[in-house]
Structure 1
Amino acid sequence: MRNGDLNGWRAEFERLEAAWFVPLLAAWRGGALPACELLLPGEGQTLAARLEPAARWKFWRRPAEPSRLLAEPAPAVPA
């Protein structure tokens, strides 16, 4: 995939969503996974997101703004 190939990036993201993220979310929501942790590496930092069973009940909370998520330091990732 080339830099600037927006259609290629979009198609790849849709493939990842269908093949990985949708089944992962379904398994977590169904209780098959006790927790789900995603590590998203970036140029300057890594964003870590962990979903635990109690998070299933937090549907009423307003989602955090992306700028706030990126401003907060990510938790240390064990080596």
Structure 2
Amino acid sequence: MFAKVSRFVGEVKGELRKASWPWESDPKVKGFKKYKELVDSTVVVLIATILLAGFVSFWDFICTTVLNFITKLGH
């Protein structure tokens, strides 16, 4: 059992070394410049989330208003 776990951890480490990480690997780069790609990607995701939330809220408001109007016609 220990051998399987050890082999698994070794394989995971090997795969993680192959991965492309969203920060600068150059040790000379310091501060926020090192994480520029990560920060830019995070900003894009936040903006997209806000826009999607606004879009869904707008259509929810429209559908609710239309359904309230239709249901009030019957009374």
TM-score (norm 2): 0.29
Query: By percentage of residues, which structure has more helix?
Result: 2
Query: By percentage of residues, which structure has more strand?
Result: 1
Largest Rg, 1 or 2: 2
